[in-house]
Amino acid sequence: MEGAISKPPYTRRIAVVTGGNKGIGLEVCRQLASDGVTVVLTARDEKRGADAVEKLKALGLCDILFHQLEITDSSSIAALADFLKTRFGRLDILVNNAAVSGVEHVQEVDTNEEKFNGMDLNQRLEWVLKNIRDTVDGAKKSIQTNYYGTKHVIDTLLPLLQSSNGGRIANVTSAYGLLRRINNEEIRQELDDIENLTEERLDELLGKFLKDFEADALEMHGWPVGLAAYKVAKAAMNAYSRILARRNRALRINCVHPGYVKTDMSMSSGVLTPEEGARSVVNVALLPDGGPTGAYFAMGQEASFV
Ligand SMILES: NC(=O)c1ccc[n+]([C@@H]2O[C@H](COP(=O)([O-])OP(=O)(O)OC[C@H]3O[C@@H](n4cnc5c(N)ncnc54)[C@H](OP(=O)(O)O)[C@@H]3O)[C@@H](O)[C@H]2O)c1
């Protein structure tokens, strides 16, 4: 068309990070930007997101943009997709980091990290479990955010990732999402039978979990207890990642456990810094072409989902 100016191709890789305003997500943004990736730092709160971008810019990292994203809000996800399409026409890396623990604290959280000095990893985990309480509302929120919110982000941004020459998804999961946490043998096997597992069956299993939660029948049906919904949502997300990886062979879609990290989510009880946790995530987000897909990584190594 006469007079039309074609946009030069955008050569730097473009990454979206969900929940990029703090904790591991903020560090993932910093490290990706330091590795020469254009980062779209997203956060559900405009102010918290804009402040985080300013923090990174003050470190001299200029190729960082902010876009609002509430992962449980379909119009917010659609607005992000429109922005990426108009601005870049594609997406190279999606880091699904945003999540909630879905639990209540039994008392005011004392943020002083010193109380953990001298405690080993298991003692810290025990301390956390003693200081939280699962609730029905929290369980619903955890499933809605950690599974359905993340899934909706992936499904909406998938066409943009398919427009990339090397699309990658890194789903930030947890060792709590490993199948060994589920005592019910049948459910464990179903979630591991990726050839036959469907999205509809995942919906049914999550519906059954919430019903059992409301009926106070988690233990009876072999579901995990203590951070129950968090564990089940992460297990479901792991399974969905594996299904997607089989369907999208050109992409690299993996899950990564960042380790036990000092953040708000862990009530600062972790043994790793956000920088150390984020390094594992960034390594998976930047896996080379032809690298693993449909895999789970922990401590920098590929490991079993079970
Ligand atoms: N910390 C650990 O030891 C540990 C261990 C294993 C796995 N993980 C995983 O690592 C990831 C990051 O956790 P973290 O420890 O860094 O936690 P965090 O400090 O609590 O950060 C969570 C981030 O997710 C955002 N978020 C929550 N709900 C959201 C929503 N509906 N829409 C958009 N953003 C939302 C939060 O935003 P706001 O600031 O607005 O709340 C925040 O930016 C999570 O997937 C977590 O499950 C953490």
Domains and CATH numbers, the chain: 14-303 (3.40.50.720)
Q: Residue 173: pLDDT above 60?
A: yes
Q: Evaluate: CB of 272 within 6 angstroms of ligand 1.
A: no
Whose C-alpha lies nearest to ligand 1, atom 47?
A: 99
> Cα–Cα distances in Å, from 262 out to 86, 177, 188?
37, 19, 30
pLDDT tens-place string over residues 183-222: 999 999 999 999 999 999 999 999 999 999 999 999 999 9
How far is 67 from 165, CA to CA, in rounded Å?
23
The first and second tokens of residue 113, run together, are 């990290």
Contact present, 199 and 152 (Cβ < 8 Å): no
Query: What's the pLDDT at 1?
Result: 39
Query: Positive or negative, the Cα torsion across 229, 241, 288, 89?
Result: negative
Pocket residue to mutate for ligand 1, from 265, 266, 271, 272, most atoms within 8 A of Cβ: 265
Q: Which of 10, 147, 148, 230 is catalytic?
A: 230
Output the CA 246–ligand 1 centroid distance in Å: 27
Closest CA to 88 of 178, 185, 157: 157
Output the CA 204–ligand 1 centroid distance in Å: 26
* Mean pLDDT of the chain, nearest integer: 95
Lowest mean pLDDT, pick from 81-90, 100-109, 170-179: 100-109
Q: Evaluate: CB of 102 within 6 angstroms of ligand 1.
A: no
Could you confirm whether 10 is annotated as catalytic? no
Q: Evaluate: CB of 172 within 6 angstroms of ligand 1.
A: yes
Q: Evaluate: CB of 128 within 6 angstroms of ligand 1.
A: no
- The strand pairing partners of 66, in sequence order, are 41
Q: Evaluate: CB of 134 within 6 angstroms of ligand 1.
A: no
Query: What's the pLDDT at 112?
Result: 82
Output the CA 196–ligand 1 centroid distance in Å: 31
Query: What's the pLDDT at 7?
Result: 58
Q: Evaluate: CB of 46 within 6 angstroms of ligand 1.
A: no
How far is 17 from 99, CA to CA, in rounded Å?
12
Give the pLDDT band of residue 83 (cuts 50, 70, 90): very high
Pocket residue to mutate for ligand 1, from 16, 18, 22, most atoms within 8 A of Cβ: 22
Question: pTM for the full model?
Answer: 0.96
